Amino acid sequence: MKAAYLADYGRSAFTRAHPRKPEVDAWSEQRGDALLGQLIDALLERRGVDAAAIEDFSIGCALPVKEQWSFGGRYPHWLSQRLAAAGQACPSRQIDQQCGSGLAALRSSVREVQVGAIDVGLAGGFENMSRVPMGPSLFNEGVLTVPNALQHTSWLELNVAMNMGLTAERLATESNITREAMDAFAQRSHQRAADAEASGWFDGERFTLTTPTHERVEHDTNIRADTTLERLAELSPAFVEGGQITAGNSSPLTSGASAALLMSETALSQHNLSPLARVVDIVDCGVAPERMGAGAALAISRALFKAGLKVDDIDLWEINEAFSAVPLYAMTTLGIESERVNVCGGALALGHPLGATGIRLAGTLARLLQHHQGRYGCAAACIGGGQGIALILERC
């Protein structure tokens, strides 16, 4: 197969979403697909790439319902001024693999490059969780449903499998991950993200974009630099009485978009670009639905095996912090050093706009490999419904 490279990456600011209080979310008046379109324009302009060069476009979205249904990925194509101006020849698709949707979209473009079908691909992801909230509200509206055939399935604990908080409770209990450890990991995430923000690190990947009323949105709004263990310890369990999973050690509802430009060696030469990283492989897997948080660790194991690498070969890790329990489980199970995981914080502090997160993980990882002069990096996420996905990058 041909080599596929991550030529560039960017994202919007990630904002705190609140379906009942839209005023707290700077993106509450902006459709998620329109935000992605605006981001794509900024990314292509920064790299000086003509939109007509884009041969394939994949979009990740975990909740492709209501206004987030994108007509096979065509709406963001039309909402991007550059892609629309370049014509309609570029094919597109929308991919729902829940929290792995962004990485799945990136994988789609990567595979097209690797088999020689294209030289330039674009992968994006978005979620506006104020406008299209996840979970109970969509079930109550009948927008999301569980097939009747699954209602009385003996092997599936449906009440747990459909509630991500309960799956995190299950994983923490079965793996002896304590509330104290999860809260400490959450505090660390906020501290690291706050330090990275103060140093200007995120300015290298975060574009300043505008709302429909032309207000500029520049900063992530979930980071809490003043988070303490004492404050986290005061929070009540969020999903079950007497439980360990709280709002503090869970990722918040978030709105945002991300995008990545993928190229072959030929395209890099034609556009005179230096890539961030080479994509070594992307691997996904399935796990028991009620233990979905274990999916990241299993996907990492499979990705390492396919690449012929060991845990010690990986210099930096980006493991999605859907809940503290997810990276803690992966670190304990695989023997990963804490200091190499999520060095600029993760979703507990930055937020988790579901469809956008995977590309953020990959892009942030590639930038960190460049900054720290590491060779290999791995990004991974657990996936609702009982899956996991992992990506391995090599610094160019």
- Which residue numbers are catalytic? 99, 352, 382
**Cα 128 from Cα 354, distance rounded (Å):** 9
Q: In this structure, what are the phi and psi dihedrals at residue 58, rounded to the nearest 5 degrees?
A: -120, 140
Residues 6+ apart with CB under 8 A from 138: 63, 65, 132, 144
Burial of 274 (0-12, 13-18, 19+ CB in 10 A): exposed
Indicate the SS3 state at residue 238.
coil
Q: CA-CA distances (angstroms) from residue 302 to 94, 122, 132, 259, 297?
A: 25, 26, 33, 26, 9
Burial of 4 (0-12, 13-18, 19+ CB in 10 A): buried
Helix (H) or strand (E) holding 86: helix 81-86
Indicate the SS3 state at residue 126.
strand
**Cα 231 from Cα 211, distance rounded (Å):** 33
Helix (H) or strand (E) holding 120: strand 120-128
Strand partners, 388: 285, 382
Residues 6+ apart with CB under 8 A from 195: 344
Structure-block tokens of residue 99:
């929290």
| Contact between 291 and 170 (Cβ < 8 Å) | yes
| b/e 204-216 (16+ beta carbons within 10 angstroms → b) | ebbbebeeeeeee
Burial of 195 (0-12, 13-18, 19+ CB in 10 A): middle
- Beta strands 209-210 and 216-217 are antiparallel
Max intra-chain CA distance, the chain: 59
Structure-block tokens of residue 352:
């988790």
Structure-block tokens of residue 357:
């997160």
| Contact between 25 and 256 (Cβ < 8 Å) | no
